[in-house]
Amino acid sequence: MKRYSAFAIAREALRDHTGWDRAWRKAQPKKRYDVIIVGAGGHGLATAYYLGKNFGITNVAILEKGWLGGGNTGRNTTIIRSNYLQDPSAAIYEKARSLYETMSQDLNYNVMFSPRGVMMLAQTEHEVRGYQRTAHANALQGVSTEFISPARVKELVPIMNINGPRYPVLGALWQARGGTARHDAVAWGYARACSDMGMDIIQQCAVTGVSQEGGKVTGVQTTKGDIACEKLGMVVAGHSGALADMGGFRLPLESVALQALVSEPIKPCMDVVVMANTVHGYMSQSDKGEMVIGGGTDAFNNYTQRGSFHHAEETVRALIETFPMLSRLKMLRQWGGIVDVTGDRSPIISKTPLEGCFINCGWGTGGFKAIPGSGWGFAELMARGQSPLTDQFGLNRFSEGRFIDESVAAGVAH
């Protein structure tokens, strides 16, 4: 595949952009693969990429029932941070954040990583204590964060009202190298690199059943026929329960809609990401100028990928005390994705009771930031049967009562 470069752009400009290759090949399923990944979201594609790059496993198919990146990967608000409380979480999220730093060069694809800084507001005394504790934990984990004063918050975000009557800003947990990246570009960049390694990305191909013999996976049934494989990776976020059911096992998670919305575009007014978890809202400004706004999950389990009016109203109402300028903005559009939430708000990256079948799910409201770290660890688990990054995230933690409690870092926060 031809590399993208300034020279290539100049060359194509001179010949009316007629010489670009397709970013990835259109593939039809072969009879058999060494590895099948179900789900062409960021996590599935990253897994395939690191299987090829780190372990030389390239006889791989990635099966997607819709279009590549059309699940939560193309629906999220793109926040990247690694300021989690527990050690296993900090390790995998910081691995991911550090891979984001060089992802554009690594994939030869501009993912627009923007380390503009992420701020989690403390608006109650309880949050002050919680975030100070997280800052101390992060220091021990080698994750660079600090607890900052209200004055520093105001200096970083002048449009904020820090003296609200109900929820004044009492400080914030600040991660200066957190930020955002372009979500579609992350999926497209990995897809291009996977296709370049000879892997087959097969869209419009829903997995409808899992074939097994003697307790071992042998392949999948799909809308494009049966396909055999040695190893199977399920990476389908909100549909994980349905896939596990096909494999004959159950997962301790719930699927629920999470919504977001954007305002009309306005001039640059905020160059960091702000999360206000007590009031259930967070916001950043996109390169186009839209304010990208998100809130909490729906209060009931569902498989809806649309937005609902009351959610937009509640989220904006929650943020208006801290951001009075929002009352003057028109909202442009809203949407939803189906997130997969575990009881301890940590992911499941694990072998399953079905031999040869692995699962990566439970990223809930906050898995975009984890894509490269998750792909790195899951690929290692699938290739070698073990990975230091994923060891603690096994399914067995639920039967052993060994939870990785991230309800503070990952409940509303993304």
What are the structure tokens assigned to 93, written together? Answer: 């999220």
CB 73 within 8 A of CB 368: yes
| CA–CA gap between residue 66 and residue 183 (Å, rounded) | 17
- The residue type found at 221 is Q
What residues from 36 to 55 belong to the interface with ligand FAD (CB under 6 A)? 38-44
- Give the rounded distance of the alpha carbon of 307 from its chain centre: 19
Q: How far is the CB of 41 from ligand FAD (least distance, A)?
A: 2
What are the structure tokens assigned to 191, written together? Answer: 């897809």
What residues from 193 to 212 belong to the interface with ligand FAD (CB under 6 A)? 206-207
Output phi, psi for 141, to 5 deg: -85, -5
Task: Indicate whether 366 belongs to the interface with ligand FAD (CB under 6 A).
Answer: yes
Closer of 4 and 200 to ligand FAD (Cβ)? 200
What residues from 286 to 345 belong to the interface with ligand FAD (CB under 6 A)? 294, 337, 339
Q: CA angle at residue 257 from 255 to 259, to 5 degrees?
A: 155
Closer of 91 and 207 to ligand FAD (Cβ)? 207
| CA–CA gap between residue 411 and residue 294 (Å, rounded) | 13
Closer of 171 and 364 to ligand FAD (Cβ)? 364
Q: Which stretch binds ligand FAD (CB under 6 A): 74-82, 126-134, 248-256, 350-358?
A: 74-82
CB 81 within 8 A of CB 93: yes
Output phi, psi for 219, to 5 deg: 165, -170
Closer of 167 and 378 to ligand FAD (Cβ)? 378
CB 137 within 8 A of CB 90: yes
What residues from 231 to 260 belong to the interface with ligand FAD (CB under 6 A)? 235-237, 239, 243, 258-260
- The residue type found at 149 is S
Q: How far is the CB of 205 from ligand FAD (least distance, A)?
A: 7
Closer of 162 and 316 to ligand FAD (Cβ)? 316
Q: Which stretch binds ligand FAD (CB under 6 A): 10-18, 25-33, 76-84, 261-269?
A: 76-84
DSSP single-letter state for residue 116:
-
Q: How far is the CB of 164 from ligand FAD (least distance, A)?
A: 24
Closer of 206 and 228 to ligand FAD (Cβ)? 206
Task: Indicate whether 362 belongs to the interface with ligand FAD (CB under 6 A).
Answer: no
Q: How far is the CB of 199 from ligand FAD (least distance, A)?
A: 15
| CA–CA gap between residue 168 and residue 256 (Å, rounded) | 31
Closer of 174 and 368 to ligand FAD (Cβ)? 368
| CA–CA gap between residue 333 and residue 312 (Å, rounded) | 10
Q: How far is CA 190 from CA 132, 264, 315, 340, in A?
A: 36, 30, 33, 22
The footprint of ligand FAD (CB under 6 A) covers 38-44, 63-66, 70-73, 75-79, 206-207, 235-237, 239, 243, 258-260, 294, 337, 339, 363, 365-369, 414
